[in-house]
Structure 1
Amino acid sequence: MVRVGEFFLARDDESALRVGPGSSHDFPAVPCDGIYPDDAAWKWEALLTGAESTPRDVVPMANDGFTVFAVPEQLCTALATAGRDRLRAAALAWAEAVSEPDDEISPDYAVDLVERVSALASSRADKHLDLYCWYFAP
């Protein structure tokens, strides 16, 4: 299970390399502990667009369990432009699809997370930043 992680905005891949467990940064960010965010991003994109692209690795997952990936542009656009009802429906469908006995994502957490990541995606163009995510899954 993922111990820690966050979606965040950064100028570029080089800037995104500075994040990770125990490092501090001043990028706008949304924590995403307790999930596999790459799987979540893939599912959100499928639910919101009907397509499935692969997140681009900035730091590929290695034996240490740490990775950083760039959120696909198509998902960023979908998150930024989807209405609240559509985001909520996607979040609830995602939570239901990935929840397993003893490893459940609450509907409230799912909706809150998707709405907060949507807000990041919406603000990225104004700030000339890209959306990334890092997580640590030992």
Structure 2
Amino acid sequence: MVLIGEFFLAKDDETALRVGPRRSHDFPAVPCDGIYPDDAVWRWEAHLTGAESALRHVVPMANDGFTVFAVPEPLCRAMATAGAEQLRATARVWAAAASEPDDEISPDNAADLLERVSALAGSRAEKHLELYCWYFAP
């Protein structure tokens, strides 16, 4: 199970490298503890866009269980423009698709997380930032 992680906005890949467990920062961020965010992103994009983009890893996952990836642009656009009901429907599909007992999330928590990440995606263009995610899964 993922212990900790967060979606966050950063200027570029070099800036995104400064995040991680026990590293404080002042980037706009949404915690995503207890889930596999790369799986979530894949499911969100499939539901919201009908497509699947490859994740671009800024820090590839290694034996230490830490990774940073950029959230795909098509998903960022879709989240930023999706309505509340579309986000809730996506969250329900994602919550129902939990494949392992340790990867479960309630529909309410799934909707809350997706709405908060969507707000980040919506604010990134005006702030001239990109959406990233880091997580640690030992």
Classify the TM-score, shorter chain.
Answer: over 0.9
Residue 41 of structure 2 contacts residue 71 of structure 2 at CA under 8 Å; is this kept in 1? Answer: yes
Q: 1:103 Cα shift?
A: 4.5
CA distance in 2, matches of 1:137, 1:102: 12
Residue equivalent to 2:96: 96
Residue equivalent to 1:37: 37
Question: How many residues end up aligned between the 2 structures?
Answer: 138
Percent identity between matched residues is 79
Deviations 1:44-83 (A, max 9, x none): 0000000001110000000000000000000000000000
TM-score w.r.t. the length of structure 1 is 0.97
Residue equivalent to 2:119: 119
**Pairwise CA RMSD:** 1.0
Residue segments in structure 1 that go unaligned for 5+ positions in a row: none
Residue 60 of structure 2 contacts residue 68 of structure 2 at CA under 8 Å; is this kept in 1? Answer: yes
CA distance in 2, matches of 1:103, 1:24: 26
Work out whether 1:16 is the aligned partner of 2:8. Answer: no
CA distance in 2, matches of 1:84, 1:109: 14
Deviations 1:3-29 (A, max 9, x none): 000000000000000000000000000
Q: SS of 2:30's equivalent?
A: strand
Runs of 4+ deviating beyond 2 Å: 99-104
TM-score w.r.t. the length of structure 2 is 0.97
**Structure 2 CA distance for partners of 1:103 and 1:52, relative to 1, 3 Å:** closer
Residue 5 of structure 1 contacts residue 134 of structure 1 at CA under 8 Å; is this kept in 2? Answer: yes
Q: SS of 2:97's equivalent?
A: helix
Residue segments in structure 2 that go unaligned for 5+ positions in a row: none
Residue 99 of structure 1 contacts residue 105 of structure 1 at CA under 8 Å; is this kept in 2? Answer: no
Residue equivalent to 1:52: 52
Residue 44 of structure 2 contacts residue 90 of structure 2 at CA under 8 Å; is this kept in 1? Answer: yes
CA distance in 1, matches of 2:4, 2:102: 19
